[in-house]
Amino acid sequence: MALAFDEFGRPFIILREQDQKTRLRGIDAQKANIAAGKAVARILRSSLGPKGMDKMFQGPDGDVTISNDGATILEQMDVDNQIAKLMVELSRSQDYEIGDGTTGVVVMAGALLEQAERQLDRGIHPIRIAEGYETASRVAVEHLERIAQKFEFDVNNYEPLVQTCMTTLSSKIVNRCKRSLAEIAVKAVLAVADLERRDVNLDLIKVEGKVGGKLEDTELIYGILVDKDMSHPQMPKQIEDAHIAILTCPFEPPKPKTKHKVDIDTVEKFETLRKQEQQYFDEMVQKCKDVGATLVICQWGFDDEANHLLMHRNLPAVRWVGGVELELIAIATGGRIVPRFQELTPEKLGKAGMVREKSFGTTKERMLYIEHCANSKAVTIFIRGGNKMMIEETKRSIHDALCVARNLIRNNSIVYGGGAAEITCSLAVDAAADKYPGVEQYAIRAFAEALDSVPMALAENSGLQPIETLSAVKSQQIKENIPFYGIDCNDVGTNDMREQNVFETLIGKQQQILLATQVVKMILKIDDVISNSEY
Amino acid sequence: MAPPPTDLVDQLRHEIDEEAPLPAIVLPPASGSLSNSAASVVNTVEEEEGDNETDEEASDDDSDKGPTFIRSLGAWSKPLHFTPPPTLPEPATPRFGVTEMLQKKRIGSEIEIKNHPTETQGSPKIYFVHFYYSTTSLDTSSSPFQRRISDLGDLRHRAALSRLPILSMPIDKIFKDDASEEKGERARMASFIGAMAVADLVKSTLGPKGMDKILQSTGRGHSVTVTNDGATILKSLHIDNPAAKVLVDISKVQDDEVGDGTTSVVVLAGELLREAEKLVTSKIHPMTIIAGYRMAAECARDALLKRVIDNKENAEKFRSDLMKIAMTTLCSKILSQDKEHFAEMAVDAVFRLKGSTNLEAIQIIKKPGGSLRDSFLDEGFILDKKIGIGQPKRIENAKILVANTAMDTDKVKIYGARVRVDSMTKVAQIEGAEKEKMKDKVNKILAHGINCFVNRQLIYNFPEELFADAGVLAIEHADFEGIERLGLVTGGEIASTFDNPESVKLGHCKLIEEIMIGEDKLIHFSGVEMGQACSIVLRGASHHVLDEAERSLHDALCVLSQTVNDSRVLLGGGWPEMVMAKEVDELARKTAGKKSHAIEAFSRALVAIPTTIADNAGLDSAELVAQLRAEHHTEGCNAGIDVISGAVGDMEERGIYEAFKVKQAVLLSATEAAEMILRVDEIITCAPRRREDRM
């Protein structure tokens, strides 16, 4: 490590305890960072595409996760390297923003880094490479905009949406019944979509899973599903035309926040207190009854006596419902969450056409369906599957499909998948490169080459000859000047992605390119890494 | 004992050297040209030293391969019997690695020699043993080495550094310290091996002649369970292999969903993976295998659907179907001696449920003593409690109030209430008031016009006495399930307040009496309103027997209750597997492409189940399965393995039936699990969470 001396020859301390720190500088730092980034991308590379493989994780507590979703893989990985963490962040931001293409973005960034390394070896300054990439990404994004196609759909004709969701689902383990899952996802999104504003609030879609049954039993419920049962085993299991009181106060005697003591010193006081207590319960139940509620949903527990009183007065109740679920129920049924019994009014009750309890399997598992809600905006996707890992993975896949459907409602432009978009961008960027004088030209060409790596990985994972396939598709695209040709991953026999119905959203693809470029730029700009070697 | 050639070997074999004569050949610590001869010396040593093979082989392998490093070889890579020298040679190991690497690159060797000439030139081969041993430490500590290089400030070194293999870069540290990563082939191997190990573990319990396992818990008391039930065995295993966990999971789900076939599902999944492993070694991509398996599973299911028997219409036949299913299920369990007796019981119990799958209504009471044959089904309800003293032991036409209320001291529930008095008299008064309150409550309860009161919570002596005075039977501390079931059976509601006696629904039953089973007194409710519930009393020699009997009976009950809903049945004894295998085989012949290998493998995996059944029974499986296959070639054959007579027989005649739902679930979940494991190409194990000892 460099030592600095003042004019009298005494050494300065620039870095405290420098013996214990590792420092990488200049080209070494860049190389090391690139290598780290590449290592992460290499892990994900084999998960890309419909024939991609899964990763298995064993968590810190011995729990097992199996996933194909890029964001999940990276999140589960116990990453410690700073640059690797950047890649994790990258995939996460794609997940937040778009929800799909989380694997693709990391593979893309890895490819860009690999190309950058080659340029560095040629002696091109990292900043120039970064600038070249920036220019190239702009070209690519503009090109995508040009080739994108709008496609029309409405509430009745949602077939195109289903097709796009199927593209997303085909790379997951659930591709056995991708058709039905895609339909469920699209129907769910359409049910909650605000087509006027072209917006979808995904919070209104709840995804619930329960182990058991088959994947084919997965269903869409126009309503809410709560993993709870009636508080008293003998309450009715089915309520039609329910008026729901949504409470956040317990069926218990009031507990003032201020500290107090009630002293009992005479028999009379004891008697009155006893009477009062009984009255409390009675009043509480009576209030619910008075406003016309036929079902009580409460965030807290009930006292045994209250429970029986409710049962006795024929007022079914559910206890210990979580806060989030309570909110969803309130939204769906158009009710208000009531914090005090005194504030209960008939207007604050939620309404639902049907509330029923359903039991599953041989074990005592029950769930509560709240259907035909007044405000049918909230829906639930209820997943069944062979085991817990399967359900978790299905949840993630459904989430991806939901995001895709939402993106299409926001912006109905699509590009073609199967690597077609990357190949045509690569061609466009390559053509544009020649127009730029200066060193950036090389970087732009490198960008084009990096774009090729996505279809290349697709072909590789599908068991095709990567170079051969890619060059064939590329020449076909140039010859016929049509940007629809991609890699035939499923061995259907055609390269035309229109025929195969493989679509991706335009914004998803654009975001992938932009995010990957940004992160690569950031990594390239780092020229000094100082870290504590003891960790 | 052979003489080790160099100083370094000398140090390496510290212990050996103590008795050994002085080295015959002592190499002068000198120039690089000698490294070749050093290598040859090592070889000669190897020839001479026959007894210390493992070490030598390790070093020999390394020297052949040169500095190729396979990252994260895990436990396999460590030379098993290598003991590190008590004191390592002076410089820490990573530096050897560096020297070595640089030498191989033929760059800057002179500097390294200057630094520590002797060791470097002594015998590089030996270093490799070292180096290999310390790969893990190298991964983490490549940094000091780089610092050293930059200290030298030699540009050439820097150039050399950039040309070093990726190994020297800090990328090996993308995971946290204890996390590990297994890739590609190795990951697949790890999961295959794990899954197969689990499958092999439970394999020997399959079939009517399957053996049991003893499970000893690690908890206090080391309680012992003897069982034959796949789910129970797997549940209690502590498994570290992630793929094995997947199998445990499917077995659990099978238990929850259909109740039986928990062993078969694991064995089938294990066989599927075993076949898949063979295919993978013959260079067929896992995705192709999965596609083939999927087609095969679909085809197998169709084959079963074609051959199902459905006797729903004919009640009598259906009942005999159920009997046969129950007997088939039970014959592999501890109850096989009395399977007819138990099958009868199980079928009766399930018929009482009238189509509901709620097995809670069937209560199983275990009482040690007597023999398994003494077990019986009681159509009433039995509560394992005692009747209070001085209360009637027998009540006819009972009106029962089922309650969940405090009958000890009825606390004031208002928050912060407490008793504060200033004299003894007041205490007495308040105590009196409390008593009065309790008396009130009892009176209210009595106002319901009941003659039996069952409470979930304790009943103290005082109220008990009051009840006894009124001639009411009071039963305290019935557990929650007992209460719910009693409510279900007698049709009463579970009450907690007693102010409106007229509107509380009471339970009714014809007769309540105290009965004796073995030494214990139980309360028996007979002639109940709702006919759904019933009790099964199991008798047996020991707790272990009873526990296992309960599990077996539970399996049978689950299967039966599922069959009542889905009345399709199949023949048993390996028959369904052979039918499926035949169809799948035919599909394989029709299918073009590599998939057909996978489909064929699927059929082989299916045949493995009858093979295992025969093997477990000590029969000649190869002979039997071949015969079975030949028989199945004719359409509509009912042949299966008859374990009792040890030959192939007609399953319909023998009355061996299985539920279609169970078989289907076995087939589908096993395929799903195999697919899931096959799709994995990388395993990442996180660092185990640190447990802080706060105890």
The 10s digit of each residue's pLDDT in A38-96 is 888 888 888 888 888 888 888 777 778 888 888 888 888 777 788 888 888 888 888 88
Largest CA-CA distance found in chain A, in angstroms, rounded? 102
Instruction: Collect all residues of chain B within an 8 Å Cβ-Cβ radius of residue A24.
Output: 146, 170
User: From residue B687, how far is each of A59, A71, A77, A139 by CA, in Å?
Assistant: 8, 20, 10, 43
Q: Nearest by CB to B429, which of A40, A53, A267?
A: A267
Query: What percent of chain A stands above pLDDT 70?
Result: 93
Q: Please indicate whether residue A196 or residue B89 has the higher confidence score (pLDDT).
A: A196
| Cα–Cα distance measured from residue A168 to residue B360, given in angstroms and rounded to the nearest whole number | 43
Percent of chain B whose predicted confidence (pLDDT) is above 70: 67
Hey, are the CB atoms on A387 and B191 less than 8 Å from each other?
Answer: no
| Closest Cα in chain B, distance from residue A36 (Å) | 5
Q: Taking 50 as the threshold, does the pLDDT of residue B680 lie above it?
A: yes
Closest CA to B287 of A418, A50, A66: A50
Fill in the amino acid letter for B15: E
Supply the pLDDT for residue A109.
Answer: 92
What's the gap between Cα B203 and its chain centre? Answer: 13
pLDDT of residue B271: 92
The pair phi, psi for residue A481, each rounded to 5°, is 50, 45
Chain A residue nearest residue B433, CA to CA: A267
State the Cα–Cα distance between residues B66 and B64, nearest whole angstrom. 6
Can you tell me the mean pLDDT for A117-124?
90
- Check whether A392 has a pLDDT greater than 60: yes
A272 labelled catalytic:
no
CB contact set of B174 (below 8 Å; sequence gap of 6+): A36, A39, A40, A79, A80, A81, A84
Residue in B253, B675, B689 closest to A60 by CB: B689
% of chain B at pLDDT higher than 90 = 5
Question: What's the whole-number mean pLDDT along residues B240-266?
Answer: 83
Contact A516, A12 (CB under 8 A): no
Angle at Cα B520 formed by Cα B519 and Cα B521, nearest 5°? Answer: 130
Range list of β-strands (E), B370-436: 376-378, 381-383, 394-403, 417-419
**Burial tier of A269 (Cβ tally within 10 Å: 0-12, 13-18, 19+):** middle
Closest CA–CA distance from residue A337 to any residue of chain B (Å):
25
β-pair partners for A337: A246
Specify the residue for token string 């072209």: A198
What is the structure's pLDDT at A256?
66
Q: Using the predicted structure, report yes or no on whether residue A278 has a pLDDT greater than 70.
A: yes
In DSSP terms, B377 is beta-bridged to B536
Does residue B151 carry a pLDDT above 90? no
Q: Which two tokens mark A116?
A: 């950058």
Over 70: is that where the pLDDT of B590 sits? yes
Q: Tell me, what's the pLDDT at B173?
A: 58
3-state secondary structure of B212: coil
Query: Residue B548 has which token pair?
Result: 């296992």
How far apart CA A150 and CA A259 sit, in angstroms, is: 65
Which tens digit of pLDDT belongs to each residue from A479-534? Answer: 888 888 888 877 777 888 888 888 888 888 999 999 999 999 998 888 887 776 55
Q: How far apart are CA B36 and CA B433, in angstroms?
A: 104
What is the C-alpha to C-alpha distance for residues A530 and A526, in angstroms, rounded to an integer?
11
Residues in a beta bridge with A219: A382
User: Percent of chain A beyond pLDDT 90?
Assistant: 10
Q: Which one is predicted more confidently, B588 or A178?
A: B588
Contact B543, B528 (CB under 8 A): no
Chain A environment of B422 (Cβ under 8 Å): 265
Question: Six-digit token pair at B486?
Answer: 């009693």
Give the separation between CA B573 and CA B614, rounded to whole angstroms: 10
Sign of the CA dihedral running B618, B623, B626, B629: negative
User: Is the pLDDT score of B79 beyond 60?
Assistant: no
Per the prediction, chain A carries an average pLDDT of 82
Measure in Å the smallest separation between the Cα of B83 and chain A Cα atoms.
27
Asked if B413's CB is within 8 angstroms of A24's CB, the reply is no
CB contact under 8 A, A81 and B294: no
Q: Return the higher-pLDDT residue of B107 and B494.
A: B494
Q: Which tokens sit at A22?
A: 């590792």
The answer to whether ipTM exceeds 0.85 is: no
Mean pLDDT along residues B538-546: 84
For residue A223, list its beta bridge partners. A371
pLDDT higher at A180 or B30: A180
Which amino acid would we find at residue A328? L
Contact A387 B171 (CB under 8 A): no
- Cβ neighbors of B90 (< 8 A, separation 6 or more) are B116, B119
Q: Supply the pLDDT for residue B535.
A: 81
* Residue A102 among the catalytic residues: yes
C-beta neighbour count of A150 within 10 angstroms: 9
> Which of the two residues, B516 and A45, has the higher pLDDT score?
A45
Q: Hey, CA dihedral for B652, B654, B655, B661, is it positive or negative?
A: negative
User: What mean pLDDT is predicted for residues A5-10?
Assistant: 76
Which residues lie below 8 Å from residue A95, measured CB to CB, with a gap of 6+?
A: A70, A71, A102
Average predicted confidence (pLDDT) for chain B = 71
Chain segment A441-472, per-residue pLDDT in tens:
899 999 999 999 889 988 888 878 889 989 98
To probe the interface with B, which of A55, A173, A362, A526 has the most B CB atoms within 10 Å? A362
Predicted local confidence at residue B529, as pLDDT: 66
pLDDT category at B478 given cuts 50, 70, 90 is low
Q: Which of A72, A103, A167, A505 is catalytic?
A: A103
**Coil, helix or strand for B599?**
helix
For the stretch A200-240, pLDDT in tens is: 888 788 888 887 667 778 888 888 888 887 877 667 778 88
Report pTM: 0.72
Give the residue among B356, B337, B350, B396 at the shortest CA–CA distance from B377: B350
Residue B656 has pLDDT above 80, yes or no: yes
Evaluate whether A99 touches A402 at the Cβ level (below 8 Å).
yes
C-alpha B659/C-alpha B673 separation (Å) is 21
Which of A111-115, B59-63, B597-601 bottoms out in mean pLDDT, i.e. has the lowest? B59-63
Q: Does B285 sit within 8 Å of A463, measured CB to CB?
A: yes
Question: What pLDDT, on the 0 to 100 scale, is given for residue A255?
Answer: 67
* Tens digit of each residue's pLDDT (9 = 90 or more) over B354-375: 766 667 777 788 888 888 888 8
What amino acid positions of B are annotated as catalytic residues?
A: 229, 262-263, 555
Mean pLDDT, residues B571-592 = 89
The chain A residue lying nearest B241, using CA atoms, is A58
